[in-house]
Structure 1
Amino acid sequence: MRVRLLLILLLIISVESFHAQIGLPEDIKIGVKLPMKSEYLHEERSVWVSLPEGYEQSTKTTYPVIYVLDAENNFNYLSTVYQYLSKEPFGVLPQAILVAIANTDRTRDLTPTNTSKEMSFSGKKQVMFAGSGGNATFMKFIKDELFPAIEKKYRSNGYKVLVGHSFGGLAAINNLLSEPLFNAYIANDPSLWWDKELLIKKTETSKDDFKNIKFYLAQANNAEARNVKDDEHEIAIGKFKNLLEQQKLKNLQWKYGFYQSDDHGTVPLPGNNDGLRYIFRSYKWNFRDAMKNTALINQHYQEFSKDMNHTFKPTELFFKKIIDIAKERSSAESVKELEQLKKEYYP
């Protein structure tokens, strides 16, 4: 009995010693899930939100919002990558709020028309996409319900980007051609074959002016992955790219990327990285020069705002971090000038 009690006591001491060495576990959080009732869609939706570093402490800073389709596939990696690339004051992207929309009926929400397609699986024919064609209603949900809810709850500066992949890329291009709700778009390997290349035809006849809208088109190397050349997916994207080169979408600022090492399933990661860098390309600068000449901060953000056709300001976190660096590396006069400029932006 005494031996058993001694063993139990030793076990307790060992466990307590182990906890003392490594500490108690603590969750690492990258975002929150918000339930949202939609009157347009007649259902509850889940919206996943990631806030930039310092959001809670920076009570006056406003941010662009990156809206992401297919939250289940894209939220975890994109929120982490974006936070890394926008880390103040070294970031190549501006700090932003990420809002990702989880699916309930993906085909319904992301396709512009109701059309079915008969496909063969293991020798058996099956009708696909019978419930398609609800994209117009889905975009009403985004415009009239999601936008107001996000702008009420979070500090948005009004600049919006839409990120989509496959059917999500189709939905992004459909909105661009129909009623642009966003300042910029990223379409990763979009399903432009949909409904006999409906959006290709719409692009061919477009008379609209897309001035001040930015667009990034990413294409995967599906021919190699599927061992199939020139299938309808690749043909449709090629036609759309040719129309962009012919400037069928007047004044649209666009760029194309082909990803030799990626197929349809993996292209969103490099496509979103390059697409966001393209959209915010004028944001990158050498902030270290500003510690010697604070006038460069105003100059940079004025030039960036002009390129984006939207007002952007340095964040409160930017000033906090650059002032801390200046205290270690620059003169007292530089620190004083930076602190004064911060008060001008954030009285």
Structure 2
Amino acid sequence: MIMKIIPYMMALLGVLLLSPVTGQEIAIGVKTPLQSDILKEERNLLISVPEGYEDGQKTRYPVIYILDGETNFNYLSSMYHYLSREPFGILPQAILVGITNTDRTRDLTPTATAKEKAFSGKRQAGFKGSGGNAAFMDFISKELFPFIEKNYRSNGFKVLIGHSFGGLAAINNLLEAPLFNAYIANDPSLWWDSELLIRKSENTQQDFKGIRLFLAQANNARVRNVKDDEHEIAIGKFKTLLEQGRLANLQWKYAFYEEDDHGTVPLPGNNDGLRFIFAPYRWNVRNALKDPETIRQHFDQLSADMGYKFQPTELFFKKLMEIAAERSTPQILEQIKAIEQHYYPQ
């Protein structure tokens, strides 16, 4: 009997060995080209929509714009999706847009300047072609924003995330003419052009009411084994100005990361920065399974705090009702359905 089975077993083994291993592709976003007349080049965008976006019809979301998209988009979109899972997420679901670089120094620096640096034992000027940030921000405001608003369901609330030169660009836009409601600046290069933005901060007369800034600083002095690091000196001066209230009515928070250097600080900085920006979103959603009216109360207060209309997503109601069907009374379930109709009437 065993001898008769062996040929069939060998044939099955052969099929398994020759068959390719197949699986389902996992995608966290799409790459979309956008032709820029302002920059006279094509720019690649990396765009991630939240869970339930395609199934929904009416939910509108904040948009988070990420500079250095080729470096920061993958980990940040994965982290954000995890922290915004419905219905128990601590961040609101959002659309993430990564902007990839073509000429990073040009796009992210506000002025044309040079800095002497050592290369192959010789002194030479660095940062050739710098100073194109004004055109880059025009691209964002006049081409990128309209593209996203036309093709995606945005609620109008915008966040900008930048690191190093990207952080420099973020704070420069904050000081010049804010295009965003909130900013995360990770170890920004505030030493640029003899601390240009420190001088701007000292002289600004703007009112920053309703704008949020999270400033992350790395422990570069220890890692680089130097006593006075230019990042730390300049960021320290900017922090002092914030403490003095020079940026009137700005909602801000600062964090120093003892164990992170310039290259690693965006990971904890973005995590903490997003939690700071969207702190009013966090609530005990389990209360809604006892008193569904707390849903409206929470999102009304959230909208007032953020200055923009925030509402529960269609996916929020779907998942909350699944839980309510198992754990709550039929009356509670009906109340949740009625509140869903308030936000999404048929």
TM-score by length of 1: 0.95
Residue 332 of structure 1: aligned partner: 330
Q: Name stretches of at least 5 consecutive residues in structure 2 with no aligned partner.
A: 1-5
What does 1:264-279 align with in structure 2 at a 5 Å threshold?
Answer: 264-279=262-277
Give 3-state SS (helix, strand or coil) of 1:177's partner: helix
Superposed displacement of residue 307, structure 1: 1.1
Q: How does 1:225-304 map to 2 (within 5 A)?
A: 225-304=223-302
Partner of 1:212: helix, strand, or coil? coil
Pick from 302, 305, 308: which aligns with 1:307?
305
1:344 is displaced (CA, Å) by 1.4
Structure 1 position 59, deviation (Å):
1.3
Aligned position for 2:36: 38
1:201-216 residue pairs with structure 2 within 5 A? 201-216=199-214
CA distance in 1, matches of 2:137, 2:113: 19
1:24 deviates by 2.5
Task: State the shift of 1:343 in Å.
Answer: 1.3
1:13 CA drift (Å): 2.9
Please name the residue that 1:82 is paired with: 80
Shift of 1:231: 2.1
The offset of 1:30, in angstroms, is 0.3
Quick one: which of 46, 52, 55 aligns to 1:54? Answer: 52
User: Which residue does the alignment assign to 2:12?
Assistant: 13
Partner Cα separation in structure 1 for residue 328 and residue 23 of structure 2: 39
Q: Which digits, 9 at most, give the CA deviation of each residue in 1:3-49, with x for residues without a partner? A: xxx99x977632544699x9721111000000010000000000000
Q: 1:199 to 1:154 in 2, by over 3 A?
A: same
Whole-Å Cα distance in 2 between the matches of residues 268 and 238 of structure 1? 18
Deviations 1:307-341 (A, max 9, x none): 11111000000000000000000001111111111
Equivalenced residues, count:
340
**Letter of the aligned partner of 1:36 in structure 2?**
L
Q: 2:106 aligns with which of 102, 105, 108?
A: 108
Secondary structure (helix, strand or coil) at the match of 2:134 reads helix
- Do the aligned partners of 2:220 and 2:229 also contact (CA within 8 Å) in 1? no
Gaps of 5+ in 1: 1-5
| Counterpart position of 1:176 | 174
Aligned to 2:3: none
Counterparts of 1:93 and 1:38, CA distance in 2? 32
Instruction: Percent identity, please.
Output: 64
SS in 1 for 2:76: helix
Secondary structure in 1 matching 2:13 = helix
Counterpart residue type for residue 115 of structure 2: K
Task: Tell me, yes or no, if the aligned pair for 2:187 and 2:218 is still in contact at 8 Å.
Answer: yes
> What is the distance in 1 between the residues matched to 2:122 and 2:208?
45
How does the TM-score come out when normalised to structure 2? 0.95
Distance in 2 (CA, whole Å) between partners of 1:327 and 1:136 is 54
Distance in 2, matches of 1:215 and 1:170, equals: 13
CA RMSD, aligned part only?
1.7
Match of 1:3 in 2: none
1:276 to partner: Cα distance: 0.3
Report what 2:161 is aligned to. Answer: 163
- The separation in 2 between residues aligned to 1:146 and 1:331, in whole angstroms, is 47
Residue 134 (1) aligns with residue 132 (2): yes
- The one-letter code sitting in structure 1 at the alignment partner of 2:311 is K
